[in-house]
Structure 1
Amino acid sequence: MLHFVIIGAGECGARAAFALREKGFNGDITLIGAEPVAPYERPPLSKEGLVLAHEPKFVAALEHYADQRIDLRVSTHATDIDPIGKVVTLSDGEQLSYDKLLLATGASARSFPGIIGTGELIRMLRTHADATALRPALLPGRHIAIIGGGFIGLELAATARKLGADVTVIEGLPRVLKRGVPEAVAEVITQRHRDEGVDIRCGETIAAVEEGATGAIVRLGDGEELSADLVLIGIGAQPNVALAEKAGLAVDNGIAVNERLETSAADIYAAGDCCSFPLALYGGRRVRLESWRNAQEQGTLAAANLLGAGDSISAVPWFWSDQYDLTLQIAGLADGATTMLRRDLGEGAFILFHLDETGRLLAASGIGRGNAVARDIRLAEMLIAARARPDPEALTASHVKLKSLLAA
């Protein structure tokens, strides 16, 4: 009987395991996870999961793994892969032979190089255990300093304010969300945070972070000292590639895979946050995506290809972030855009369309309260997938339905 092994029991690995059964695979499946709990969703950790901080939001009930004959191993990690002998060695010394292997090792929180370690008062957020440890510190009257004005840092800031803590966000770049969001969208988010009382400091350098007996001190480059009850590091994530590198697999900003999620070693695939892949929709540009939807989609695609489908990645990158009552959604990749057009949707909501020099729609970025931008971002996503060159005037005219542009 065939044996498929999946290393990494996160959203992607779990989705792949269940998808294998949904697609009719009747062999053995072993799903290996380093954390002591069943696979869970990570996006809530910086949002409602941090507010509640009880049980995580599980991908599936524990009994469902048994029902589907998925051998879930928690509190276990792989230490070695032998691509020639097709053997995985586990942390307890057990060796598992595999017919095909999927690496869904995810990513880890990025530390502040050369300056910051972690401790009781200096923390990062990547796991449910991290969220559980953070929750008691996010109380009224406490001051939280967040290093990083990206999505994680700002989502943490919004949640901390909801819980009553005072918050300072320190960002080294000239504005928040510099790498992934247009300035007009970032301005809306920045103002919303400031309206909630968050002190956002951009263009700052950090000389040191020191942990004392009763609090932490963040020393800025200009000599100013900020006292905090807790410092949160939210400066992004780095792919977990050590196991793949040790096995001799190609690595390029993540485990390098082709359009079918195949690594440089036979019968070994990689998917989710840990891998980089060529995206045909953007001229074969190699990208790595850290998003909930990508983890789900690539888990399903990996399952199909483990079974020999040979399908290629075709999904449009998509990302969202909830902060207070605002929801930000982004479809596509704006790199290479030469034109940006704005479509106002009312009550402050709007979408920015990013087009290249030929008029092709590359990306759309929208922000508004609740689900104000969801429908139009979904339609924009479909236009991007179709490589459409919509009429610019129609894109900006709020009375023209995007669905009509898709039909055209």
Structure 2
Amino acid sequence: MISDTAPMIIIGAGHAGGRAALTLRAEGYTGPLILIGDEPHLPYERPPLSKGLLQGQVTLGDFSLCQAAQLTELGIQHLSGQRVVRLAPAQHRLHLADGRVLDYQRLLLATGGQVRRLAQVPAHFANVLYLRTHEDAERLREQLLPGARVVIVGGGFIGLEVAASARQAGCTVTLLEAGPRLAGRVVSPRLSAALLYLHREHGVEVHLDTGLQDVSGQQQVERVQLADGTWLPCDVLVVGIGIQPAVELAREAGLDVGQGIRVDECLRASAPDMFVAGDACEFRLHPAGDFQRQETWRNAEDQGRHAALNMLGADQPFRGVPYFWSDQYDWSLQSVGSPHAGTPSAQRDLPAGGFLQFYLDADQCLQGASGWANGNAIAKDIKLCERLISARVPLDHEALADPGVALKHLLRTAHA
């Protein structure tokens, strides 16, 4: 039963939390609503941090979800620069770092995560940078000067996007990846090879199967040592080795926690009147599926919206189709559904070196697809793949691989 007495509270004023707050108002909730975030900013999207903002093409206002006047007009109380230190689920209560205690009727945890840090790198060095927040991106942009020698640890999407932005800024870039291929945990060998070729073509010195052994310097990193003993000069050290989901509040409150905060199919946590969305949410896309987390723009957008609807009593299972993209130089990688890092079921070559990869399940239905192309050439194909995933019809390997067979035709056949 929704009341207008105790407030709805959202912990985490990032993309997922901000979208949830706006959705609650858009869906007609008129009671008190509090959005709590530890950053000083309005809710914003994170993908531009490693691309447009680093390249000076956008500012924070360009990718904020709303303006301060809009929050005021909607009656959303935004507690910025605040941190929640304790949850008391049995009392429907939370404690802030400044000593305040707030009661809630329903609570959304959209706590996101913190960057993983390298233990062997002194935290006080001014030129050691991580990328998670707007402040991180601003500090990094100030140091990406022409001729700067940038060393990047991590060959996942953050590291690769920063490498592309740094090269476009005129920096000398060396990238270290501990695994045998780039983005190896999430993309196929062919996509890894395409990423490697692209970055080397743009002058990035890529070292695979190589980690950071040590650093030297007094007040900042001056040189870095690779695992094989090689020393490299360094003006800027960027660490992009993923995030650690923020689950401490939930764990200390006795909630069910795995790799993230675990939820049921409606994004409800294991405590009454509590929901979870975004990077810290560990969920199943299907009742018999494995728990997973997704650190993507779409997941934050979709789960923030969906959790808000269920906070209002919709009681609808979350069945969002996963999707992510990564733009590097003039090329784009896009993925939909549940592809994996192994060999695809079928591949389709596209003009100018692009390609699509398809992953079929045991019933020969499409479960995931990935694409690689210059510009945004694969956007329509990926959208059609998303519709084929939802259609759940058996598909022919040869038809998927044949560029002469339009995906739209396969979709029409599915609905015939």
- TM-score, normalised to structure 1, is 0.96
Task: Say if 2:221 and 2:237, in contact at 8 Å, map to a contact too.
Answer: no
Check if 1:324 corresponds to 2:325: no
Residue of structure 2 in register with 1:201 after alignment: 207
Check if 1:218 corresponds to 2:221: no
Secondary structure class of the residue paired with 1:272:
coil
Q: Quick one: structure 1 residues 339 and 224, their matched pair in 2 at CA, closer, same or farther if it must change by over 3 Å?
A: closer
Q: CA deviation at 1:97?
A: 0.7
Alpha-carbon distance in 1 for matches of 2:255, 2:224: 40
Alpha-carbon distance in 2 for matches of 1:317, 1:276: 14
Deviation per CA, 1:278-335: give whole Å up to 9, x if none. 1118x42211000011100000100110011111111111110000000100011124
Task: Say if 1:259 and 1:278, in contact at 8 Å, map to a contact too.
Answer: yes
Q: CA deviation at 1:337?
A: 7.2
Number of corresponding residues:
406
RMSD: 1.6
Alpha-carbon distance in 2 for matches of 1:336, 1:193: 20
Residue of structure 2 in register with 1:50 after alignment: 54
Match of 1:19 among 6, 16, 23: 23
Task: Say if 2:94 and 2:102, in contact at 8 Å, map to a contact too.
Answer: yes
Greater CA deviation, 12-21 or 383-392? Answer: 383-392
Q: Counterparts of 1:142-157 in structure 2 under 5 Å?
A: 142-157=148-163
Alpha-carbon distance in 2 for matches of 1:192, 1:152: 16
Match of 2:383 among 378, 387, 403: 378
Secondary structure class of the residue paired with 2:55:
helix
Check if 1:353 corresponds to 2:358: yes
Task: Say if 2:184 and 2:341, in contact at 8 Å, map to a contact too.
Answer: no
Alpha-carbon distance in 2 for matches of 1:332, 1:132: 33
Check if 1:242 corresponds to 2:248: yes
Q: Structure 1: any 5+ residue segments left out of the alignment?
A: none
Task: Say if 1:33 and 1:73, in contact at 8 Å, map to a contact too.
Answer: yes
Q: CA deviation at 1:11?
A: 0.4
Task: Say if 1:337 and 1:355, in contact at 8 Å, map to a contact too.
Answer: no
Residue of structure 1 in register with 2:113 after alignment: 107
Secondary structure class of the residue paired with 2:405:
coil
Match of 2:127 among 121, 129, 132: 121
Paired letter, 1:300: R
Q: CA deviation at 1:36?
A: 1.0
Task: Say if 1:336 and 1:356, in contact at 8 Å, map to a contact too.
Answer: no
Q: CA deviation at 1:211?
A: 3.8
Residue of structure 1 in register with 2:345 after alignment: 340
After the TM superposition, list the runs of 4 or more consecutive aligned residues in structure 1 that deviate by more than 6 angstroms: none
Check if 1:88 corresponds to 2:94: yes
Q: CA deviation at 1:206?
A: 2.4
Check if 1:134 corresponds to 2:136: no
Q: CA deviation at 1:40?
A: 1.2
Check if 1:75 corresponds to 2:81: yes
Deviation per CA, 1:167-193: give whole Å up to 9, x if none. 000001011110111111121121111
Q: CA deviation at 1:360?
A: 2.2
Q: Counterparts of 1:250-261 in structure 2 under 5 Å?
A: 250-261=256-267
Check if 1:161 corresponds to 2:186: no
Secondary structure class of the residue paired with 2:90:
coil
Alpha-carbon distance in 2 for matches of 1:210, 1:292: 37
Check if 1:392 corresponds to 2:394: no
Q: CA deviation at 1:358?
A: 3.3
Q: CA deviation at 1:55?
A: 3.2
Secondary structure class of the residue paired with 1:5:
strand
Residue of structure 2 in register with 1:266 after alignment: 272
Paired letter, 1:366: G
Paired letter, 2:21: A
Secondary structure class of the residue paired with 1:286:
coil
Residue of structure 2 in register with 1:298 after alignment: 303
Q: Structure 2: any 5+ residue segments left out of the alignment?
A: none
Alpha-carbon distance in 2 for matches of 1:212, 1:199: 26
Task: Say if 1:144 and 1:229, in contact at 8 Å, map to a contact too.
Answer: yes
Greater CA deviation, 46-55 or 68-77? Answer: 46-55
Paired letter, 1:29: L
Alpha-carbon distance in 1 for matches of 2:410, 2:302: 26
Alpha-carbon distance in 1 for matches of 2:121, 2:214: 7
